Amino acid sequence: MSGSFVVRSRRVVLPDGERPAAVHVQDGVVVAVTGFDEVDGQVVTLAEDEVLLPGLVDSHVHVNEPGRTEWEGFASATRAAAAGGITTIVDMPLNSVPPTVDVEALHVKRAAAEGQVSVDVAVWGGAVPGNTGQLPRLLAAGAVGVKCFLLDSGVPEFPPLDDTGLRVALTELAAVDGLLIAHCEDDDVITAAPQSGGRSYADFLASRPGAAEETAIGRLIAAARDTGARVHVVHLADAAALPMLRAARAEGVRITVETCPHYLTFSAEEVPDGDTSFKCCPPIREAEHREALWRALAAGDIDLVVSDHSPCTPELKRLDVGDFALAWGGIAGLQVTLPVVWSGARARGLTLADVVRWMSAAPARLTGLTGKGAIAVGKDADLVAFAPDERWRVAQLHHRNPVTPYAGRELTGVVRRTWLRGHLLADDAAPLGRLLERSEG
């Protein structure tokens, strides 16, 4: 479906709240939002148990193409996104080979994605030692910002920045108001922690203590304060870091923060020994952290929720031996992000408007994708028909590899239909996604 039509529902999540409405679409763009009965022409009316949401924006996805396409790839990742109500993903600069640390690598990645993406795709650049001069060029070429690690990334082609390198990069970015996002764990703290090995999740958790996140976030805050640059903390797991983030924002440091569905769903106490599908870095922490992260989301102290979809082959997860030290660290969950977060939110008295704020509006704002993030006049007609009360159990997903800690989990909320710029997406449809640049819908 494209051209001119109307989608209406008794429940539509709009920027000013939820109400009955009709969304008028022309040539892939929202041209009017009217009352439910103010319609003519071709009209799609959602079922009584469905809510119309804006398409989600997932600004933290590891597609791994080119170079490690056996881990995922644009075709499978974007099919999974579409099935999960995610109409825009932003691909991380690693674990693709080459990593997206210069303009040439950015062109290589775009060429790999061309013609096989089912949703819209933007990209992050990367900040590594020695590429400071490339950072403004990456932004000018369309990257939405750049990512760095403050400790070893796990892949040799994407080394971390030390404090000097971090400040040099931020100084360069501040000159063009560019955004740096950072994996915040401190190598010295982890080196001093008990070293893990084997099947014990408690031992693995002790090897990546919360203090590693707090120390690295403190370093990032100090560098951002001194340079005036915009920074963002990815995948916060340690709730003890929240007070320093609140204080930094109160004094004017330009810092935002995200968390992820796995930190909001699981707790360390329930991770089975040897089940390395749960391994990620920073690790899933105790239930008290999970509940504090939810409170921070409700209070506005955490800005967004994104998947950090980081899959690999089953062999690299080392489920055969269940050794957390040997297994690749990353959670696969792109397709189930919306129902996972909604299941947790509704259990805590939060609303679909909250979920849309965390998972659509805020990631679009972070990445400068101004055509995304809301059902509003002038925005892309990225729409999702969502059944918030329907229960289902996670089984086969569109991810290239089947390993996920969500396997078999009962969730609430089903994505029934997804429109991308006014086109109804289907599993057997030709890929309709576009490659986006910052400030582009």
Residue range 90-139, pLDDT digits in tens: 999 999 999 999 999 999 999 999 999 999 999 999 999 999 999 999 99
Residue range 2-22, pLDDT digits in tens: 679 999 999 999 999 999 999
When pLDDT is averaged across residues 10-38 and rounded to a whole number, the result is 98
- List, in order of start, the domains of the chain with CATH numbers: 4-45 (no CATH), 54-373+392-406 (3.20.20.140)
User: What is the CB neighbour count within 10 angstroms for residue 36?
Assistant: 14
Q: What is the 3-state secondary structure (H, E, C) of the chain?
A: CCCEEEEEEEEEEECCEEEEEEEEEECCEEEEEECCCCCCCCEEECCCCCEEEECEEEEEECCCCCCCCCCCCHHHHHHHHHHCCEEEEEECCCCCCCCCCCHHHHHHHHHHHCCCCCCEEEECEECCCCCHHHHHHHHHCCCCCEEEECCCCCCCCCCCCCHHHHHHHHHHHHCCCCEEEEECCCHHHHHHCCCCCCCCHHHHHHHCCHHHHHHHHHHHHHHHHHHCCEEEECCCCCHHHHHHHHHHHHCCCCEEEEECHHHHHCCHHHCCCCCHHHCCCCCCCCHHHHHHHHHHHHHCCCCEECCCECCCCHHHHCCCCCCCCCCCCCECCHHHHHHHHHHHHHHCCCCHHHHHHHHHHHHHHHHCCCCCCCCCCCCECCEEEEEEEEEEECCCCCCCCCCCCCCCCEEEEEEEEEEECCEECCCCCCCCCCECCCCCC
- Is the per-residue pLDDT at 429 higher than 90? no
Mean pLDDT of the chain: 96
CB 113 within 8 A of CB 121: yes
Tell me the C-alpha distance between 132 and 294, whole Å: 36
When pLDDT is averaged across residues 71-76 and rounded to a whole number, the result is 97
**Structure confidence at residue 2 (pLDDT):** 61
Which residue has better confidence, 67 or 195? Answer: 67
What percent of the chain clears pLDDT 70, i.e. is strictly above it?
99
**Structure confidence at residue 1 (pLDDT):** 56
Sign of the Cα torsion 180, 149, 221, 337 reads positive
- Quote the distance between the C-alpha of residue 420 and its chain's center: 18
Residue range 140-173, pLDDT digits in tens: 999 999 999 999 999 999 999 999 999 999 999 9
Backbone torsions φ then ψ of 248, nearest 5 degrees: -65, -45
When pLDDT is averaged across residues 336-351 and rounded to a whole number, the result is 98
**Structure confidence at residue 52 (pLDDT):** 99
**Structure confidence at residue 441 (pLDDT):** 44
Tell me the C-alpha distance between 364 and 374, whole Å: 9
- Is the per-residue pLDDT at 440 higher than 70? no
Tell me the C-alpha distance between 403 and 32, whole Å: 42
- Is the per-residue pLDDT at 439 higher than 70? no
Residue range 283-325, pLDDT digits in tens: 999 999 999 999 999 999 999 999 999 999 999 999 999 999 9
- Which residues are CB-neighbours of 287 under 8 A, at least 6 positions away? 267, 268, 269
